[in-house]
Amino acid sequence: MRVTLNSAVRDAQAQLQRVEAQIAQRTRELSSGRRLNTLSDDPSSSVGAVINRAEIGQTDSYIRATDSVGARLSVVDSLLNDVIVQITGGLTAAFGARGSSVQQSQRDAYAIELEGIRDTILADVNTQFNGAYLFSGAASTTEPYTKTAGVVSPYQGTTTAVSVDIGEGTSVQVSRSGDVLLRGSDVDDLFVELDRLIAGVRAGNAADIDAGISALNRAFDRATAVQSQVGIDLRTASDQRLQLGVQKVQQRAEVSRHEDANLAEAITDLQMAEVRYQAAIRAIGSRLSLSLMDFVR
């Protein structure tokens, strides 16, 4: 009889310990809001949560890259827009300087205007963003053009484009070549052409003015083509940023599914565990009471 009683009491105590563990687990979930507080709580879900958090880290990296790319491309787009405006102004001045009826004072004024246009374009293509030159290709620390004694140097950057990954299999170009923009397939770059045009305007040389107008038209076409590509990259970055935001929400939901407690379920389980706990205590008390009666008999 004693062996049977001891066995029953041990079973009841084991049941009591299991219920106590459930109560402790559910209490931790309710106080912390988390289902996983240690790896041992649910090894399978813990592995899933670790994987999801790694994915969120990757997504955050792409989001930062996309935000930086968007800001950088916006600056490039603005600069290209100004280059196009300056080229258009150069064409207006060159056309105004044509013809035998134009006075020397007018030609001098147009020449000074063209010099200002040349210097503005130079400032545009020499612009930096976060310490990197935007129109030096891969040579981001090298100034694309320098000006010495009124003469602009040849291009000093590279023609290699630099791209940044903003998602799995998605990248955009973040640096441009000033040479592609201002020379293209021409023999000389736009600064050389502008200097010839300025000299031709001052001298009233129709052939040089016409050659300068042609060079400006080609530069206009190149600038608008580059700006069009920048616009495409900007849209790509914007669309990708939206997709990454949605992706991060989904990844967070997966982490929550693995880690966070279902509060309604935890409350219900806690209540049920407390009922089982009281039942286990009563069972032990009942068995001990029966044992005492057997002893008295």
Instruction: Please tell me the predicted confidence (pLDDT) of residue 75.
Output: 97
- Count of CA atoms in the C-beta half-sphere (13 A) of 185: 3
Instruction: Please tell me the predicted confidence (pLDDT) of residue 251.
Output: 84
Instruction: Please tell me the predicted confidence (pLDDT) of residue 253.
Output: 78
Instruction: Please tell me the predicted confidence (pLDDT) of residue 254.
Output: 79
Whole-structure pTM value: 0.73
DSSP reduced 3-state for 191 = helix
- pLDDT mean values, one per 10 residues, the chain (297 residues): 56 58 52 54 61 84 94 97 98 94 96 98 97 96 96 96 91 94 97 98 97 98 97 96 92 71 52 59 60 55
Q: Residue ranges of the domains in the chain?
A: 2-33+261-296, 74-253
What top-level class would CATH report for the domain 74-253? mainly alpha
> Is 271 exposed, middle or buried, given 0-12, 13-18 or 19+ CB atoms closer than 10 A?
exposed
DSSP reduced 3-state for 34 = strand
Instruction: Please tell me the predicted confidence (pLDDT) of residue 282.
Output: 64
Which helix or strand (DSSP H or E) is residue 205 part of?
A: none
What is the C-alpha to C-alpha distance for residues 56 and 248, in angstroms, rounded to an integer? 6
Instruction: Please tell me the predicted confidence (pLDDT) of residue 30.
Output: 47
- Which residues lie below 8 Å from residue 31, measured CB to CB, with a gap of 6+? none
Identify the bridge partners of residue 40 per DSSP, sorted by sequence position: none
Beta-sheet strands, E only, within 87-175: 128-129, 132-133, 147-148, 151-152, 162-167, 170-175
